[in-house]
């Protein structure tokens, strides 16, 4: 039997669900997983029929992090390249056009925590556990956490999580702003699908523009104005903006097509 | 020097250096002597390999009531400029420190006292602690990095209220808005700060030096941070501490990090 170590991709209407399925290693982001995750993300991102991507993990856990078995035999150049290559999925997630919802049960540790934080909206089960576990094996945070985490929590909390590898459960994560929504245990994916439906029905060009602006953070005031004045005129001329104006006056829900 | 002269004392507790601001006549106000002593200690600690984390607190029952107004009388503009430049040296001695800093706040953290607390990585506040950017009350603006540190902890709206209205923030409110990270019973801020400093001292020092340096550059772009993590991680992978961390992980025991 071929070794099962993959990412399961399913489609529910305009929502693509990417489920990391490497349960024997608690969904560790191994080379094999990344080799499937990156093209799956790219394909979903490029499919204009996909209006929202949900990322989750099989077997009631999100992802326990990097592939620790690789770390023992490393050179600086090799280590640097492995970490550098994570931008293959981080750029797709953070600079892509399609909104991404993470559904987190169980562990979101290390690079798995980084993966969750690169989503636009995070649903956490109450008993989910978030931890930048890197320090426990003498490493610094990667997976974009130096950039993503301080945008979600204050610098004090960010430093504690990144420097002391403090574990934060789902309830605390919601309070701190690490998660945007709390779900009962085993219900994170259901809740994420509901939220994904809301993202999927939002005007796609506007959503893509907003994602693009956030990806350029930090912005100073001049840059923010430049983005507005460059992008808004095009959006005003879009079919979707016309449809929204029609629906507004007809008191109907608009039907956006991303055009 | 008498015991009532403004100064900063240092005691070591294992791998933790405890710096205590002492200016008892003026509620630990931030005089030039206090500032100079603090920079001196930070410089000593920087090269003291036995020290892994730092706690800053105030002697007696208060943190610091702020700048020492008695030393600001009849100051010329250029004397004021020199004072701010000296303040910058103090800000950088803490902000650029490669060792994590915890602040233990009882009583007042007002004016420059608030600025000092906000330079810490983690702030423990006693229940009756209060925080205020009191600068405006004497016709001044916030200084000692407050315009940079405060918005990293609280929202833009709250930062405006704190800086422009000099609102006094209680400890409970401070916890709620992210101004501080932890609350203690009265008189217990230092104990809890020591516990957090101990956790920081036991963490692997090399990755935290890099992490602190990276976060100290905020705000930063995504690609700057991705480049930073790749360069840093590449170096760390081959460190003795990563070998120890991996060994302890597979042996299911606590790691002992050497900072090598």
Helix or strand run (H / E) with residue A19:
strand A15-21
A72 belongs to a structural domain? yes
8 Å CB contact of A146 and B228: yes
What's the CA gap between B183 and B191, in Å, rounded?
Answer: 11
- Among B106, B240, B112, B258, residue whose Cα is nearest residue B186: B106
| Judgement on whether residues A19 and A90 belong to the same structural domain of the protein | yes
Which residue from B206, B246, B255 is facing A71, i.e. has the nearest CB? B246
| Judgement on whether residues A48 and A83 belong to the same structural domain of the protein | yes
The band of A5, judged by pLDDT with boundaries at 50, 70 and 90, is low
| Judgement on whether residues A174 and A216 belong to the same structural domain of the protein | no
Looking at every residue in chain B, the average pLDDT score rounds to 94
Under 8 Å between Cβ of B46 and B97: yes
Contacting residues for A52 by C-beta, under 8 A, at least 6 apart: A14, A15, A16, A98, A99, A100, A101, A196, A197, A199, A200
> What are the C-alpha distances in Å from B256 to residues A164, A167, B199, B244?
14, 19, 12, 7
Assigned fold of B7-202 = 2-enoyl-CoA Hydratase; Chain A, domain 1 (3.90.226)
8 Å CB contact of B233 and A142: yes
A78 belongs to a structural domain? yes
Q: The domain that contains A211 carries what CATH number?
A: 1.10.12
A214 belongs to a structural domain? yes
Q: The domain that contains A77 carries what CATH number?
A: 3.90.226.10
Q: Which strands, in side-by-side order, build the sheet including B122-126? A: B7-13, B16-22, B53-58, B101-105, B122-126, B182-184
What's the CA gap between A214 and A227, in Å, rounded?
Answer: 11
A109 belongs to a structural domain? yes
pLDDT of amino acid A3 = 54
Under 8 Å between Cβ of B118 and B146: yes
Q: How far is B211 from chain A (nearest CA, A)?
A: 6
Between A87-101, B67-81, B171-185, B226-240, the lowest mean confidence (pLDDT) is in B67-81
Last residue of a domain, one of A186, A201, A216: A201
Give A148-185 pLDDT, tens digit per residue: 999 999 999 999 999 999 999 999 999 999 999 999 99
Helix or strand run (H / E) with residue A92:
helix A87-95
Its domain, for residue A88, covers 6-201
| Judgement on whether residues A166 and A222 belong to the same structural domain of the protein | no
Question: What are the residue ranges spanned by the domains of chain B?
Answer: 7-202, 205-251
Contacting residues for B106 by C-beta, under 8 A, at least 6 apart: B57, B58, B61, B62, B63, B126, B128, B129, B186, B187, B189, B190
Residues of B within 8 A of A69 (CB-CB) are: none
Helices B77-95 and B32-46 pack at an angle, to 10 degrees, of 30
Number of C-beta neighbours around residue B207 at 10 A: 29
Three-class secondary structure of residue A257 per DSSP: coil
Asked if the C-beta of B138 comes within 8 angstroms of chain A's C-beta atoms, the answer is no
| Judgement on whether residues A31 and A145 belong to the same structural domain of the protein | yes
The band of B5, judged by pLDDT with boundaries at 50, 70 and 90, is confident
8 Å CB contact of B246 and A154: no
> What are the C-alpha distances in Å from B27 to residues A92, A221, B90, B209?
54, 40, 20, 33
pLDDT of amino acid B138 = 86
Contacting residues for B237 by C-beta, under 8 A, at least 6 apart: A71, A74, A75, A76, A78, A79, A139
Which residue from B220, B230, B246 is facing A80, i.e. has the nearest CB? B230
| Judgement on whether residues A72 and A167 belong to the same structural domain of the protein | yes
8 Å CB contact of B246 and A136: no
Looking at every residue in chain A, the average pLDDT score rounds to 95
Domain count, chain A: 2
Which residue from A139, A144, A157 is facing B225, i.e. has the nearest CB? A144
Q: Is the pLDDT of residue B1 over 80?
A: no
| Judgement on whether residues A191 and A94 belong to the same structural domain of the protein | yes
- Among A139, A79, A95, residue whose Cα is nearest residue A113: A139
| Neighbour-count burial of B221, counting CB atoms closer than 10 A to its CB (0-12 exposed, 13-18 middle, 19+ buried) | middle
Q: Is the pLDDT of residue A4 over 80?
A: no
Give A35-44 pLDDT, tens digit per residue: 999 999 999 9
Question: Best interface-test mutation with B: which of A64, A66, A139 has the largest number of B CBs within 10 A?
Answer: A139
| Judgement on whether residues A18 and A76 belong to the same structural domain of the protein | yes
A259 belongs to a structural domain? no
A127 belongs to a structural domain? yes
Class of domain B205-251: mainly alpha
Asked if the C-beta of B259 comes within 8 angstroms of chain A's C-beta atoms, the answer is no
What's the CA gap between B77 and A101, in Å, rounded?
Answer: 54
- Across the range B70-91, mean pLDDT stands at 87
What's the CA gap between B180 and B149, in Å, rounded?
Answer: 12
8 Å CB contact of A71 and B242: yes
Q: Is the pLDDT of residue A202 over 50?
A: yes
Q: Is the pLDDT of residue A100 over 60?
A: yes
Helix or strand run (H / E) with residue B16:
strand B16-22
Residues of A within 8 A of B207 (CB-CB) are: 134-135, 138-141
What's the CA gap between A215 and A54, in Å, rounded?
Answer: 19
Q: How many CB pairs under 8 A join A and B?
A: 171
A255 belongs to a structural domain? no
Contacting residues for A23 by C-beta, under 8 A, at least 6 apart: A58, A59, A61
What's the CA gap between A242 and A238, in Å, rounded?
Answer: 7
pLDDT of amino acid B86 = 87
- Percent of all residues in chain B with a pLDDT value above 70, rounded to a whole number: 99
Number of C-beta neighbours around residue B62 at 10 A: 23
| Judgement on whether residues A213 and A124 belong to the same structural domain of the protein | no
Contacting residues for A55 by C-beta, under 8 A, at least 6 apart: A18, A20, A100, A101, A102, A103, A115, A116, A119
Give B176-216 pLDDT, tens digit per residue: 999 999 999 999 999 999 999 999 999 999 999 999 999 99
A68 belongs to a structural domain? yes
| Judgement on whether residues A10 and A87 belong to the same structural domain of the protein | yes
- Percent of all residues in chain A with a pLDDT value above 90, rounded to a whole number: 94
8 Å CB contact of B249 and A137: yes
Q: Is the pLDDT of residue A142 over 90?
A: yes
Give B246-258 pLDDT, tens digit per residue: 999 999 999 999 9
Helix or strand run (H / E) with residue B186:
none
Specify the pTM: 0.93
pLDDT of amino acid A212 = 95
Which residue from A76, A90, A136 is facing B238, i.e. has the nearest CB? A76
Under 8 Å between Cβ of B130 and B171: yes
| Judgement on whether residues A169 and A235 belong to the same structural domain of the protein | no
- Across the range B16-28, mean pLDDT stands at 94
The band of B80, judged by pLDDT with boundaries at 50, 70 and 90, is confident
| Judgement on whether residues A15 and A43 belong to the same structural domain of the protein | yes
Under 8 Å between Cβ of B233 and A70: no
Which residue from A140, A154, A217 is facing B232, i.e. has the nearest CB? A140
Last residue of a domain, one of A160, A180, A201: A201
């Amino acid at each position: 039997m071929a070794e099962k170590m993959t990412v399961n991709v399913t489609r529910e209407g305009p929502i693509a669900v990417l489920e990391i399925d490497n349960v024997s290693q608690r969904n560790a982001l191994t080379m094999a997983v990344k080799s499937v995750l990156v093209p799956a993300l790219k394909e979903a991102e490029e499919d204009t029929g996909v209006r929202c991507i949900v990322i989750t993990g099989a077997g009631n856990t999100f992802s326990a992090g990097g592939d620790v078995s690789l770390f023992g035999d490393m050179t600086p150049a090799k280590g640097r390249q492995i970490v550098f290559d994570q931008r293959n999925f981080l750029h797709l997630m953070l600079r892509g056009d399609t909104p991404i919802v993470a559904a987190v049960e169980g562990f979101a540790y290390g690079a798995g925590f980084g993966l969750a934080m690169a989503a636009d909206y995070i649903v956490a089960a109450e008993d989910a556990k978030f931890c930048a576990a890197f320090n426990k094996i003498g490493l610094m945070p990667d997976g974009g956490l130096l950039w993503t985490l301080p945008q979600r929590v204050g610098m004090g909390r960010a430093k504690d999580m990144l420097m002391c590898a403090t574990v934060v459960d789902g309830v605390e994560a919601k309070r701190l702003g690490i998660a945007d929504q709390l779900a009962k245990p085993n219900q994170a994916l259901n809740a994420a699908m509901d939220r994904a439906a809301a993202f999927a029905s939002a005007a796609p060009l506007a959503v893509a523009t907003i994602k693009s602006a956030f990806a350029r953070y930090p912005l100073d005031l001049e840059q923010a104005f430049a983005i507005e004045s460059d992008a808004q005129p095009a959006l005003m001329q879009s079919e979707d903006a016309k449809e929204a104006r029609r629906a507004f006056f007809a008191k109907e829900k608009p039907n956006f097509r991303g055009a | 020097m008498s015991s009532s002269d403004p100064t900063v004392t240092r005691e070591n507790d294992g791998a933790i250096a405890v710096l205590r601001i002492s200016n008892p006549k003026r509620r630990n106000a931030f005089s030039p002597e206090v500032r100079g002593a603090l920079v001196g200690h930070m410089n000593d600690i920087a090269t003291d390999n036995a020290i892994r984390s730092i706690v800053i607190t105030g002697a007696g029952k208060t943190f610091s009531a702020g700048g020492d107004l008695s030393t600001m009388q009849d100051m010329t503009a250029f004397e004021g400029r020199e004072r701010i430049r000296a303040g910058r040296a103090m800000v950088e001695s803490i902000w650029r420190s490669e060792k994590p800093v915890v602040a233990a706040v009882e009583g007042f953290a007002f004016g420059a006292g608030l600025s000092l607390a906000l330079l810490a990585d983690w702030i423990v506040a006693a229940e009756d602690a209060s925080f205020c950017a009191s600068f405006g009350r004497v016709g001044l603006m916030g200084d000692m990095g407050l315009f940079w540190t405060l918005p990293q902890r609280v929202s833009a709206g709250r930062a405006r209220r704190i800086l422009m209205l000099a609102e006094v923030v209680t400890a409970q409110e401070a916890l709620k808005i992210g101004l501080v990270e932890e609350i203690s019973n009265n008189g217990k801020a230092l104990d809890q700060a020591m516990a957090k400093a101990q956790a920081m001292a036991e963490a692997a020092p090399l990755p935290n030096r890099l992490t602190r340096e990276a976060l100290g550059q905020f705000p930063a772009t995504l690609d700057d941070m991705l480049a930073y993590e790749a360069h840093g991680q590449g170096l760390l992978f081959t460190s003795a501490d990563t070998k120890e961390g991996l060994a302890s992980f597979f042996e299911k025991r606590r790691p002992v990090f050497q900072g090598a």
